[in-house]
Structure 1
C-alpha cells in the first residue's frame, strides 16, 4: 500500500484484529445500527447480539464485528 509512511509491506493480519475468524457457511452480515456513544450502551449491545444470533455462538465472530457498530469517538476508543 502506498502513502503509509514508514509502514511498508502491511499484511492483512497486521490490519485485522481477528484475522483467523471464519464466517459460517451461508452467513449474511446484517446491517448494523451504529453506536456513537449516545443512548444506552447495554441496549445497543443487546440489539447487536440479537442481530448476530446466526453466528451460532461463535464469540470470536461477535468480537470481530463489534467494531462495525461503532462510529466517532467510540470507534477511536475501540481501535486504540
Structure 2
C-alpha cells in the first residue's frame, strides 16, 4: 500500500531535493494584497538560474507566501500541482482581483479639473496619473491635459491658441497661471 502525500505537489516534486550548495535568495513575501503577476515576475527573475528545475521552482515559491496566501496554498487539493506553470496559474487566478490595471494615455482624458481645484493641484494630479503610464505619447498627453480644462478657464485659451505646445511648455504655462491666480 502506497501512501499519498497531502501536499498540493505531486510525489515527484515532493521527492526532489535542491541542488548542492543552493541558497535560497531573499524574496519579499506575498501577503495577497498586491499584483500576483508582479510577484511571479520578481520570483522568476530572482530564480532565473533555476528556471529549468520545475520542482525547485514550485517548492521554493511556496516559501514566498505569507499569512492568508500561505493558508490558501495549504487548501489546494493534494497532488494537484505538477508544474510551476500550473502553480503560477492557480496562484494568479486566486489573486487576480489584486492585479494592477495597465493604464494607457486614454486614461488621462478622464482627469477633469474640478471647479474648486487650483490649477496647481490639477497639474499635480495630472502628473501623478501620467507617471503611471508606460510609453505615453507626447501629443495625446498634451491634448488630454489641455482638453480636460474647462473651456471658460483662461489657461484653456492660451493652450488652444499656442502652436505645437509641448507638455513641458503646457506645464510651464499652467505654473505661470497658478502664480498669477495666487497673486490676485
The TM-score normalised by the length of structure 1 is 0.70
Structure showing greater relative contact order (alpha-carbon pairs closer than 8 Å, 6 or more residues apart): 1
Q: Contact (CA 8 Å) 2:29, 2:64: kept in 1 or not?
A: yes
1:66 aligns with 2:98: no
Q: Which one of the candidate residues 17, 20, 26 is aligned to 1:22?
A: 17
Q: In terms of mean alpha carbon deviation, does 67-76 or 15-24 score higher?
A: 15-24
CA contact (8 A) 2:31 2:68 kept: yes
**How many aligned residue pairs are there?**
68
**Residue aligned with 1:29, SS:** coil
Residue of structure 1 aligned with 2:30, choices 26, 30, 35: 35
Answer yes or no: is the 8 Å Cα contact 2:44–2:51 preserved in 1: no
Which whole-Å deviations, capped at 9, do the CAs of 1:52-78 have from their partners, x for residues lacking one?
Answer: 112151111110111111111111000
Query: Between Structure 1 and Structure 2, which shows a larger proportion of helix residues?
Result: 2
SS in 1 for 2:15: coil
- Structure 1: segments with no counterpart, 5+ residues: 1-12
Q: Secondary structure, in 3 states, of the residue corresponding to 1:25?
A: coil
Question: Considering only CA atoms, is the larger Rg found in Structure 1 or Structure 2?
Answer: 2
CA spacing shift, 1:55–1:24, aligned 2, 3 Å:
same
Pick closer, same or farther for the CA change 1:67–1:25 going to 2, 3 Å: same
Are the aligned partners of 2:51 and 2:57 in contact in 1 as well (CA < 8 Å)? no
RMSD over aligned CA atoms reads 2.0
Q: What 5-or-longer segments of structure 2 have no aligned partner?
A: 76-184
Residue deviations 1:5-54, cap 9 Å, x none? xxxxxxxx968654311222332211121000111110111101111112
